[in-house]
A and B are shown apart, each in its own frame.
Chain A
């Protein structure tokens, strides 16, 4: 008699073997599994679905589900790799901005579920004033855990906004407005999406990746020679994007 493990492997193989026409009960499970994934992706990527149309989206969701195994028993964490899948998917490449829109939607979903920050800006700024001058360059700044940074050659934020429920703006989106440098974060429980100057975006991205203040300044100046460090500190501590300091 086959072992329990052999039975589970056999069941799984038959369930996802789309080459065979399962006429037995296992087809019910195949349909249920694919429908679960389709529904989960539709809930996380509604704008992507609106842009591609429901039939295209459903086909892409099925192809993704078969190509990329789910790694978690929590369906809420499913879909992190869907934007990259769309970027590499030949049919989706005909709408090149779709994968970037999907990246934005994942960032929104991810930020929504991120840990609470709980930084105390007043205390952080007071601590900052006591840092010795020779230690400033090696200072590291912490971003709120909900912060997600992304950039795109397309007007992502505008595309996203005109597809929000209740939006009454002109749905026409001009594509010649330049690249979007976006910060997605949670503020007072709600998702905020900000369009940043390129220098601020490079600076925050470097800080997020663990760069110290000197390295992050170099990254910012590389994209914007006029980057103003003091102004960026004021802006991003003031908004709650930056929440703490540490010396490496």
Chain B
């Protein structure tokens, strides 16, 4: 069997099903075996090459699967000018592969022209809210499409913050018309590290704004919980995911695994759990 899923049209939304974050070690397997996965997500920057086999490979993946572009380098919250070269590369990629979704993180990564290539936390203030909203709108205008914005796992809470993270996230969506990529593991990690109530967090997010959910593993062996994307989804995060889809309804859900990447079959098992929970949710509301 080859193409399991028909190629969605340019404006099609992500399939309401479990997907997998596709990383370089699994490209060969996916091309050869065409596994039955509803959709894949890639890191946008890994396909910013001007040409060559990397892009040709992505075209072959895209021919058979719905695709989501997930950016890690836009530096949405930076006070430096928006990087128009970076943005144009993203647009070129989106124009080429016609993804079902394009997402970025609610964070900053650069200041004074120096990039740190890491998702750094924002203070949650009126000033940063206005700044981020203007940037999200600028990116949406340039891309000519809706952006999905993801909540961050963070280890530093600014004393200057005056707005709860969940309210900040919800307001960005309300003001810009962007939609939200809710990372349930990040909510769990922040809740544990900062002593906030994850259910109150979910309750602050308007269900209509939620377009995608992320699930990943973390490291709970030290004094603080670290979002490693290097382990199976924890039981407590699966439980919180159940609460999330009870509130948000069925939402396209991605399994992310970025360090100590396991065999593809491990990711398929994680995706199958998410899929069964989505299916089970159907049974409840039916």
| In the complex, per-residue mask of B177-189: 1 if CB is within 8 Å of any chain A CB, else 0 | 0000000000000
Residue of B nearest to A32 (CB): B118
Q: Which residue of A lies closest to B131 (CB)?
A: A4
Whether, in the assembled complex, A90 has its beta carbon less than 8 Å from a beta carbon of chain B, the answer is no
Within 8 A of B (CB), among A56-85: 69-78
Which one, A7, A9, A145, contacts B112 given CB within 8 A? Answer: A9
Which residues of B (210-261) have their CB < 8 Å from a CB of A?
A: 224, 226
A189 and B118 within 8 A (CB) = no
A-B contact pairs, 29 of them (CB 8 A): A1-B125, A4-B122, A4-B127, A7-B123, A8-B79, A8-B108, A11-B156, A12-B116, A25-B156, A28-B224, A29-B155, A33-B117, A69-B113, A70-B116, A71-B115, A72-B73, A73-B45, A73-B115, A75-B45, A76-B48, A112-B54, A113-B50, A113-B51, A113-B52, A113-B54, A114-B52, A115-B50, A116-B51, A190-B53
Count how many pairs of residues, one from A and one from B, have CB atoms less than 8 Å apart in the complex: 118
**Cβ proximity bits B105-135 to A, threshold 8 Å, 1 near / 0 not:** 0001111111111101011010110010000
Chain B residues near A190 (CB-CB < 8 A): 53
Nearest-CB distance from B184 to chain A (Å)?
A: 21
Q: A69-B115, A70-B117 are in contact. List 15 more A-B contacts (CB 8 A).
A: A4-B123, A4-B127, A7-B158, A8-B108, A12-B112, A29-B116, A33-B118, A71-B113, A73-B74, A73-B75, A73-B109, A73-B115, A73-B117, A74-B86, A189-B52
Residue in B closest to A9 when the chains form the complex, CB atoms: B111
Which residue of chain A has its CB nearest to the CB of B47?
Answer: A76
On A, residues with C-beta under 8 Å from B are: 1-5, 7-9, 11-12, 15, 24-26, 28-29, 32-33, 36-37, 40, 69-78, 112-116, 145-146, 186, 189-190
Q: Chain B contact residues (Cβ within 8 angstroms of A): what range?
A: 35 or more
Q: Which of B48, B116, B156 contacts A24, CB < 8 Å?
A: B156
Give chain A residues whose Cβ lies under 8 Å from the Cβ of B113: 69, 71
Would you call B83 an interface residue if the criterion is a C-beta within 8 Å of the partner chain's C-beta atoms?
yes
Whether the pair A78, B117 counts as a contact (CB closer than 8 A) is yes
A115 partner, pick from B51, B155, B156, B224, beta carbons under 8 A: B51
Asked if B114 and A12 sit within 8 Å, CB to CB, the answer is yes
Per the bound structure, the CA–CA distance linking A220 and B204 in Å amounts to: 70
Task: Report the separation of the CA atoms of residues A141 and B7 in the bound assembly, to the nearest whole angstrom.
Answer: 42
Rounded to whole angstroms, the CA-CA distance of A11 and B114 in the bound complex is 13
**With A4-B125, A76-B49 known to touch, is A189 a contact of B56 (CB < 8 Å)?**
yes
Across the interface, name the chain A residue whose C-beta is closest to B74. A73
Known: A7-B123, A25-B155, A36-B117. A73 touches B73 (CB 8 A): yes
Residues of A within 8 A of B156 (CB): 11, 24-26, 29
Q: How far is the CA of A26 from the CA of B89 in the complex (A)?
A: 31
- B89's closest neighbor in chain A, by CB? A74
